[in-house]
Amino acid sequence: MVESGMSELIISIKEIITPIGQMLAAATDKGVFFLGFAENPDSGFRLKKAAAELGGTFKIDAADAGDLHLLKLDEELKEYFKGHRRQFTIPVVLSGTDFQKKVWETLTRIPYGKTWSYSRQAAEVANPKAVRAVGSANGKNRIVIVIPCHRVIAKDNGLGGYSGGLWRKEYLLKREGSRIT
């Protein structure tokens, strides 16, 4: 039963196999709102939190418009890992604070094969002193790879952090042809 004033929001979920592990993806009819590594202990929590922030009543359904987004995401990820895709075209739905959304939107401006430092990203959000806050927001990115937080590194060219594991960040950067130390 849907409460008065609340709309029912149907969520589709799909497991996607990639060269760097099994991923869990979720979408609504508006687009993908979650893509994370399935074995991360907090993936389920992060998925539930992202879903709750979208509002409404949630019903898991395997035959929904969100499935089309997930099928396209699976296809685009396969193309990305084969080296045939540099940019994702699937629609995404961001849920988080205004600051987090601003930080995540800057990530989409980092060109394929390039990296930015956390301090450069902080400058891009017009808050050069917010380096730690930018790093924290990147760590809460709920649509990894598509929103390429892996392209942000420490200013000394070290990897910095990555919620999916540094070995994955290194793999993704090398796949894209980025130079890392």
Residue count (the chain): 181
Contact predicate 64/12, CB 8 Å: yes
Q: Mind spelling out the 3-state secondary structure of 12-76? A: EEEEEEECCEEEEEEEECCEEEEEEECCCCCHHHHHHHHHHHHCCEEEECCCCHHHHHHHHHHHH
* Closest listed residue to residue 116, CA positions, set 154, 63, 146, 82: 154
The tokens 């796949």 sit on which residue? Answer: 175
**Catalytically annotated residue among 73, 90, 94, 149:** 149
Annotated catalytic residue 149? yes
Which residues does 90 contact at the CB level (< 8 Å), separation at least 6?
A: 31, 32, 69, 72, 73, 76, 146
Instruction: Give the three-class secondary structure for 9.
Output: strand
Which residues does 3 contact at the CB level (< 8 Å), separation at least 6?
A: 57
Active site members: 149
